[in-house]
Amino acid sequence: VRVVRDGEVLDPASWTRTARTGRVRIDDLVDPGRLLALFDDGATIVLQSLQRWWPPLTRFCRALEDALGHPTQANAYLTPPGAAGLAPHHDTHDVFVLQVHGTKHWTVREPLVVAPLARHTSDHERCAQQPVLFEADLHPGDCLYLPRGFVHSAATQHGASLHLTIGVLATTMHDVLRRIVDRAAEEPDFRRTLRSRAGAGDDDPRALVKEIVAELTHWLEGFDPDTLDDTTVHRLLGRTRRPPVLDGHLLELVGLASIDDSTVVVRRAPSPPPLHERDDRVEIDLGDRTLRLPARVGAPVASLLDGAPHTVGELAASMDQSSRQVLVRRLVREGVLRTCRGA
């Protein structure tokens, strides 16, 4: 949670309190009374990373990630009547604004920095001086797309307003270049200590920089893209991977023993996780970990991940009863599959 008013972030001490749970002391527990009093006094309440806490938004963001190929995040902004939240600023990621309740007036200005990175923080005073591109009132159901860098601000007029901002955390060319240059650390020549400049007289230190750039350029000419790690390659290809959403997984775990040939299972994620076949194994990329299985189960696993419901017994042509039930229980346990109870 954040609380902002007239462009300033309020000190959490003004809307939190301390408490204890068991032997653990909590110093930032939200005090509902104080928080709502600030809202009544014109402050905006910001619920951050809401995709982590509210399942409908979790599913929406996952579907959007599958469509766009980049990670997303979601914040909610609840603003009281006649109030403004953040001062004119730019974001370093693309944003979709989704108006949920009430009306909010938006002012969008020309970028101060074109395609900013995380290092390019907003200068609120300079942002406020940028030429206005357009102004618009967003009503429930309206959507506004803001490419990163475009300066924007919003305020309510009549009634409270609630909107979501969906941030798209896209990979940039700079991200890729950093990963490639980081690989230069594997070359001993790039780890050597620079020669001392003491007593160098009138030597221009820029000449040394020029030598280093020349060596790096030569190294880059022979760089093999196949040496990049799978995570970087997946991001380059627009394949973001998140851990499975484990809603209802506790019931799946306690019901593993009841899985038999009549049990119907289906892929848990909207899109299939990357499946890599190695010489002696098959690997499933689950985002936060890699599941490794014997190579002989590659074809049965691929069939189970096609998105359609399957009974365990359908694997009878390629696996004996004990093996197929063990495989499906493992995939359910790992969150790759879920059961369709009663199907």
pLDDT 10s digits, 31-59: 999 999 999 999 999 999 999 999 999 99
How confident is the model at residue 40, as a pLDDT?
95
How confident is the model at residue 321, as a pLDDT?
97
The C-alpha atoms of residue 189 and residue 219 are separated, in whole angstroms, by: 10
The C-alpha atoms of residue 38 and residue 282 are separated, in whole angstroms, by: 55
The per-residue pLDDT of the chain, averaged, comes to 91
Q: Is 134 exposed, middle or buried (0-12, 13-18, 19+ CB in 10 A)?
A: exposed
pLDDT for residue 16 is more than 60? yes
pLDDT for residue 241 is more than 90? no
Q: Which has more pLDDT, 285 or 51? A: 51
The C-alpha atoms of residue 94 and residue 166 are separated, in whole angstroms, by: 8
Q: Is 15 exposed, middle or buried (0-12, 13-18, 19+ CB in 10 A)?
A: buried
Contact 300, 331 (CB under 8 A): no
How confident is the model at residue 201, as a pLDDT?
56
77-119 pLDDT, tens digit each: 999 999 987 889 999 999 999 999 999 999 999 999 999 999 9
How confident is the model at residue 147, as a pLDDT?
97
How confident is the model at residue 251, as a pLDDT?
96
Across 269-297, average pLDDT: 89
Q: Six-digit token pair at 190?
A: 């790039």
Using CA atoms, how far residue 16 sits from 26, 27, 47, 322, in Å, is 10, 8, 14, 55
Which of 75, 120, 123 is CA-nearest to residue 97?
A: 75
pLDDT for residue 236 is more than 80? no
Q: What is the DSSP string of 292-308?
A: EEEGGGHHHHHHHTSSS
pLDDT for residue 300 is more than 60? yes
How many angstroms from the chain centroid is the CA of residue 270? Answer: 16
Between 64-78, 94-108, 142-156, the lowest mean confidence (pLDDT) is in: 64-78
Across 305-310, average pLDDT: 96
> In percent, how much of the chain has pLDDT > 90?
70
pLDDT for residue 311 is more than 70? yes
pLDDT for residue 203 is more than 70? no
Q: Is 30 exposed, middle or buried (0-12, 13-18, 19+ CB in 10 A)?
A: middle
Amino acid at 8: E
Using CA atoms, how far residue 160 sits from 77, 84, 138, 140, in Å, is 10, 11, 13, 12
The C-alpha atoms of residue 331 and residue 251 are separated, in whole angstroms, by: 15
**Residue 183 binned pLDDT confidence (cut-offs 50, 70, 90):** confident
Q: Global pTM?
A: 0.85
pLDDT for residue 343 is more than 50? no
